């Protein structure tokens, strides 16, 4: 292992303090928290300010993150292709369980499927990559609606709910209860609501800010659903969604 540079480590220790301290910190606070000698902190802060990684408010003596950190963050975000990451995550999970895996995003009240990886034992589903379906009828959609903005929920309540099958939820109160359960469990569920004789579980995918930006689901024919417990299916999709979130910078 290559030798680590102490000055760089100390600089990073200082920068990482500001991940949680949005109000900024004084030099004395930084010395107290890090234990780095005051003279060293003075030199490191001067360097970080000079390179725009930190900025100093002369009126308060408090340091805050500088514009260079913002630019680095944007550069990192530009490297994250959601579709590529979605496809990789779906393929990984599908190869593990040999069931169909979907990844979708919300567009109004519809789900757009970014990725769909079929099982070798594929069953015909209504979802397709690049296609759309009513969010309220699918596990992918419910995992998104459960965390949707107030304006999206208002739009959902402003008209009749979509029906894809006889089992689709068309009662707003029942859907509200379903979305509340999704938030409580961290996973969504639907059985025959989008495709007859198929049960699905879903989970939200979050980006580096914690915002829900996509969701994943497993679609299982009812004849194979009992091969695992419901808890196992939920754990599998939750773990896969968390792994995809980690790729998007979620810590």
CATH number of the domain where residue 27 is located: 1.10.10.10
86 falls within a domain: yes
In this structure, what token pair is assigned to residue 70? 């913002």
Please return the burial class of 75, using the count of CB atoms within 10 Å of its CB with bins 0-12, 13-18 and 19+.
exposed
Q: What pLDDT was estimated at residue 123? A: 63
Kindly give, in sequence order, each residue whose CB lies less than 8 Å from that of residue 70, ignoring residues fewer than 6 positions away: none
Could you give the percent of the chain with pLDDT greater than 90?
77
SS3 category, 219 = strand
- Among the three residues 61, 77, 93, which one is the final residue of a domain in this structure? 77
Do 167 and 183 lie in one domain? The reply is yes
The per-residue pLDDT for range 167-182, each reduced to its tens digit, is 999 999 999 999 999 9
Do 153 and 92 lie in one domain? The reply is yes
Do 52 and 89 lie in one domain? The reply is no
Residue ranges in the chain assigned as alpha helix (H): 6-17, 27-34, 38-50, 67-78, 82-97, 139-145, 150-157, 172-185, 230-247
Kindly compute the dihedral angle of the four CA atoms of residues 74, 77, 81, 87, in this order, to the nearest 10 degrees: -170
Do 164 and 58 lie in one domain? The reply is no
Do 40 and 129 lie in one domain? The reply is no
144 falls within a domain: yes
CATH number of the domain where residue 164 is located: 3.30.450.40
pLDDT band at residue 141 using 50, 70 and 90 as cut-offs: very high
90 falls within a domain: yes
Kindly compute the dihedral angle of the four CA atoms of residues 230, 235, 237, 242, in this order, to the nearest 10 degrees: 160
Q: How many domains does the chain have?
A: 2
Query: Are 41 and 48 a contacting pair, CB within 8 Å?
Result: no
Do 88 and 164 lie in one domain? The reply is yes
Q: What pLDDT was estimated at residue 31? A: 96
Average pLDDT in the 138-159 region? 94
Q: What letters, b where the CB count within 10 A reaches 16 and e where it falls short, cover 132-158?
A: bbbbbbbbbbbbbbbbbeeebeeebee
Do 196 and 157 lie in one domain? The reply is yes
Query: Are 109 and 152 a contacting pair, CB within 8 Å?
Result: yes
pLDDT band at residue 21 using 50, 70 and 90 as cut-offs: confident
Would you say residue 129 has pLDDT above 90? no
Do 108 and 232 lie in one domain? The reply is yes
Would you say residue 121 has pLDDT above 80? no
pLDDT band at residue 79 using 50, 70 and 90 as cut-offs: low
Which of 94, 222, 83, 201 has the alpha carbon at shortest distance from 142?
Answer: 201
Would you say residue 55 has pLDDT above 90? yes
122 falls within a domain: yes
Q: What distance in Å separates the CA atoms of residue 202 and residue 180, rounded to the nearest whole number?
A: 14
- Among the three residues 19, 44, 77, which one is the final residue of a domain in this structure? 77
Do 66 and 145 lie in one domain? The reply is no
Do 120 and 153 lie in one domain? The reply is yes
Would you say residue 45 has pLDDT above 80? yes
Do 33 and 138 lie in one domain? The reply is no
Domain containing 200 equals 80-247
Average pLDDT in the 72-100 region? 84
1 falls within a domain: no
- Among the three residues 45, 77, 109, which one is the final residue of a domain in this structure? 77
Q: Any idea which of 128-132, 160-164, 189-193, 205-209 has the lowest mean pLDDT? A: 128-132
Do 110 and 180 lie in one domain? The reply is yes
Kindly give, in sequence order, each residue whose CB lies less than 8 Å from that of residue 176, ignoring residues fewer than 6 positions away: none
């Amino acid at each position: 292992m290559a030798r680590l540079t102490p000055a760089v480590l100390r600089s990073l220790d200082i920068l990482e303090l500001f991940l949680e301290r949005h109000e900024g910190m004084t030099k004395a606070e930084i010395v107290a928290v890090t234990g780095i000698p005051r003279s060293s902190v003075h030199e490191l802060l001067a360097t970080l300010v000079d390179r725009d990684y930190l900025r100093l408010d002369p009126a308060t003596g408090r340091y805050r993150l500088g514009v260079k950190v913002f630019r680095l963050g944007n550069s990192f975000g530009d490297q994250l292709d959601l579709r590529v990451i979605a496809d990789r995550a779906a393929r990984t999970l599908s190869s593990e369980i040999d069931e169909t895996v979907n990844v979708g995003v919300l567009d109004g009240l519809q789900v757009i499927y970014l990725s769909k990886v079929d099982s070798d034992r594929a069953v015909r589903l209504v979802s397709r990559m690049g296609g759309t379906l009513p969010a309220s009828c699918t596990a992918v959609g419910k995992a998104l609606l459960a965390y949707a903005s107030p304006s999206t929920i208002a739009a959902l309540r402003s008209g009749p709910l979509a029906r894809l099958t006889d089992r689709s939820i068309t009662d707003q109160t029942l859907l509200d209860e379903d979305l509340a359960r999704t938030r409580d469990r961290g996973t969504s569920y639907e059985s025959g609501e989008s495709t007859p004789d198929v049960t699905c579980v879903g989970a939200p995918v979050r980006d580096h800010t914690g915002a829900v930006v996509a969701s994943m689901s497993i679609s299982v024919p009812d004849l194979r659903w009992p091969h695992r417990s419901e808890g196992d299916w939920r754990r599998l999709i939750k773990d896969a969604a968390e792994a995809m979130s980690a790729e998007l910078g979620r810590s």
